[in-house]
Chain A
Amino acid sequence: MTSVLMNKATGKLDQYEEERLHHTPWVEKYRPKKLEDVASQDHAVTVLQRTIESANLPHMLFYGPPGTGKTSTILALAKTLYGPRLYKTRVLELNASDERGISIVREKIKNFARLTVSNPTTEDLENYPCPPYKIIILDEADSMTNDAQAALRRTIENYSSVTRFCLICNYITRIIDPLASRCSKFRFKPLNNDNALNRLKYIAEEEKINLSEGVLEEVLKISNGDLRKAITFLQSATKLSNSLEDVEMADEDGNFESETTSKITVNGIQEIAGVIPDDIVNQLANTIKSKNIKSISSQVNEVILQGRSAQQVIDQLHDKFILDDTINSITKNKIAGILFNIDKRLNNGTDEHVQLLNLFVQISNAL
């Protein structure tokens, strides 16, 4: 279909590309293309750049919280190394959406690892380093079974002359030791505010978003170092604020850049992020302090009916109580214990209503 279009009219194709880009989420659109663009992971980026110069890459293990640029870094690295054409034959990307049982490790990964590297064209050689090995990216490696990981052990070593592995995970503890010891580890720390802010500002400028004061800061605060979350919030907020009238004046001729007149506000961001407003949290805390089981139970019922997430309630109550100076350390200790317990139970897929009720009653007993 694409090729037909290309023959008939390149203009159509451009328009098609433009429309496709318009449908792409910003997270993909603004994914860093070069290593230098990766925000605020200076340590990892410097080390990797040095390895590019020497054209010798170790096996790598990237770990860190979500949204810190792990996948972006390795993709950018691979693109810098190979360029777009060679990329297809030299890089195998597997993630949790692919079947990754032990059979796949034995067949697909092993087969790809075993292949000798293809020869780059002279054109590619001029522009890119094109080192003589392939890269296998195992994204979200912590969701691989232990068996599958064990099967990788020897594979990694056997084919290290032609293949480099890059494992990406959130929790390094879920990677078995023998695997971890074969890789050089890079920790990706949560983004610090300055760099993330710059990135957001850049995106906001590119997309011509109309922001009111302090919105970007609020986005960063809510997203807590997770840049992907921040960008998604920003995009959602923009979509929402592109209210009815300015859609009509935009795109007569495929021009999607509508001149937004409405502004994005701090409240709007909070709404999108599912954060519970401060006054409701205060109200909850006061009910807990009142130690009246009747009112606690009706308050919990209200929270559940409002559809608030129990996890979010726990998070925000935690901030509230732990930072409260009127409570002494021993009580805080107890409260932290209770919060931990309930959080664990919620993670086990229990009923939110019962657990929240228990949480409130327990804390009010502890106070």
Chain B
Amino acid sequence: MSLWVDKYRPKSLDQLSYHDSITHNLRALAKSGDFPHLLVYGPSGAGKKTRIYATLNEIFGAQVDKLKIDVKTFVTSSNRKLEFNVLSSPYHLEITPSDMGNNDRVVIQDLLKEVASTEQVDFSNQSSSKTKHRFKVVVINEADSLTRDAQAALRRTMEKYSSNTRLILVCNSISNIIPPIKSRTLLIRIPAPSITDMNKIFTTISNKESLKFSSNDSQEVNQFLSNIGHSCNGNLRKGLLSFETLSIQSETISLSPNSLSVLKLDWEVIIKNLSITIRNNRNVASLAKVRVVLYELLSHCIPPRIILKTLLFNLIETVNSEYVVSQLIELASIFDERLSLGQKSIFHLEGFVAKAMVAIDKM
């Protein structure tokens, strides 16, 4: 049994439910049998991947879903061997070069050139479109965390081998993509689904799974569903996962607002408590306690940037004075930069906490 996220993932363009204009554009591209390099961006859980796969499905047929994982080895210039996972079907490859950290350039150079310099031969004449697919598609995940070097390496490759490969870059924000890449790709923005969009999806699923709610009043159910939508802040994947969690916990889903509290993740609750501590006890002793909590969070692999962001938003909610809020936001922005430049994240997180305490103290 698969998760709802996978079970109800649209497989073809026709099943896609929201953002009709994007779907229309993608269909036009797919029909012509050819497309330029794409740069798909949008917040997480908005359905970027789903749309890409649906498009590929439309172009190449069901074979795209026959995925296998290969392990490729690369040799860096310093003769170190690297192992790298490549997800591939007969028509496309999917890679996450940022797994490799600083060595992503080698992957881009070697792998793409290898793919690009061999031409795709299309023997399947049964495909409905008359155009033959002389190209292979390479999907690059998390393109925004590619290093500058790797992105520079992409530039000429994209032009030179463009008759044999099509790239699809997937990322959350295009701020980190260098302009030469942007000027070589077709940008596709995928916004997060609206609350009503998500509501529709939740309703269809609850009908299909024939879920029972504690009350049959459709308005109440609707309200409950949109609460789920609100709590996941536009992230449909998160929304579906939490919805499934709720449905598994009990036979009938109780519609009381309390049941939603289960959805709060542990670390979110911890950070919320942290923000309250920071607000109430502003002294060195509590700073030491905060350090313990922060270390705990970091050791559970919560990314420092997420900690900072969540902490900031929790703090903003607890503080009333507008002046302090603007101070806090500025502090967060400074420490956010330091986090991404520095190595040891605990310093910067603690620095933020200390500065925040001082800022609130001055209120």
Contact = CB atoms under 8 A, between A and B. Distances in A.
Given A304-B43, A361-B330, A23 B134 contact: yes
A365 interface: yes
Given A97-B154, A232-B186, A358-B332, A239 B305 contact: no
A244 B28 CA distance: 6
A20 B120 CA distance: 12
Interface string B150-164: 001111110110110
Nearest to B174: A309
A6 interface: no
18 contacts: A20-B163, A25-B162, A96-B153, A96-B156, A239-B29, A240-B25, A244-B28, A256-B131, A274-B187, A274-B189, A305-B43, A307-B43, A307-B46, A311-B174, A350-B340, A352-B175, A354-B312, A354-B329
Interface string A327-367: 00000000000000010011111111111011001100100
A309 B64 CA distance: 30
A-B complex: 8 closest residue pairs judged by Cβ atoms: A307-B42, A358-B333, A229-B183, A96-B152, A95-B156, A236-B186, A305-B192, A274-B187
Contact of B28 (A24, A240, A309, A312): A240
B34 interface: yes
Interface in A264-298: 272-274, 293, 297
Interface string B269-283: 000000000000000
A139 B156 contact: yes
A272 B186 contact: yes
B192 A354 contact: no
A274 B39 CA distance: 11
A308 B176 CA distance: 13
B176 A349 contact: yes
Interface in A59-118: 66-67, 95-99, 101, 103
Given A232-B183, A350-B340, A342 B156 contact: no
A22 interface: yes
A31 to B, nearest CB: 9
A355 B336 contact: yes
Nearest to B25: A240
A77 B84 CA distance: 41
A22 B135 CA distance: 12
A155 to B, nearest CB: 19
A229 B37 CA distance: 13
A66 B179 contact: yes
B160 to A, nearest CB: 8
Interface in B296-351: 305, 308-309, 312, 316, 322, 325-326, 329-330, 332-333, 336-337, 339-341
Contacts of A140: 152, 155-156
Contacts of A362: 326, 330
| Most chain A C-beta atoms within 10 Å of own C-beta, residue among B109, B312, B336 | B336
Contacts of A20: 134, 163
Interface in B124-177: 130-132, 134-135, 145, 148-149, 152-157, 159-160, 162-163, 173-176
B119 to A, nearest CB: 8
Contacts of B329: 354, 357-358, 361
Given A305-B191, A310-B175, A228 B183 contact: yes
Contacts of A293: 322, 325-326
A28 interface: yes
Interface residues of B, number: 73
A22 B336 contact: no
Interface string B246-280: 00000000000000000000000000000000000
B237 interface: no
B9 interface: no
A173 to B, nearest CB: 16
B190 interface: yes
Contact of A239 (B28, B184, B316, B326): B28
Contacts of A243: 28
A352 B149 CA distance: 22
B155 A95 contact: yes
A213 interface: no
Contact of A351 (B29, B174, B305): B305
A208 B27 CA distance: 22
Nearest to B184: A232
B333 A297 contact: no
A361 B326 contact: yes
Given A240-B28, A241-B28, A28 B192 contact: no
Given A229-B183, A305-B192, A23 B135 contact: yes
B4 interface: no
A301 B308 CA distance: 16
Given A140-B152, A354-B336, A355-B333, A305 B162 contact: no
A243 B43 CA distance: 28
Given A143-B152, A349-B176, A297 B316 contact: yes
Contacts of B50: none
A150 interface: no
B12 interface: no
Interface in A217-246: 223, 226, 228-229, 232, 235-236, 239-244
A239 B191 contact: no
A348 B340 contact: yes
B309 A353 contact: yes
A34 B99 CA distance: 43
Given A66-B179, A97-B112, 14 more contacts: A23-B162, A66-B180, A97-B153, A97-B155, A99-B109, A143-B149, A239-B35, A239-B186, A274-B189, A306-B189, A307-B41, A310-B175, A357-B329, A362-B326
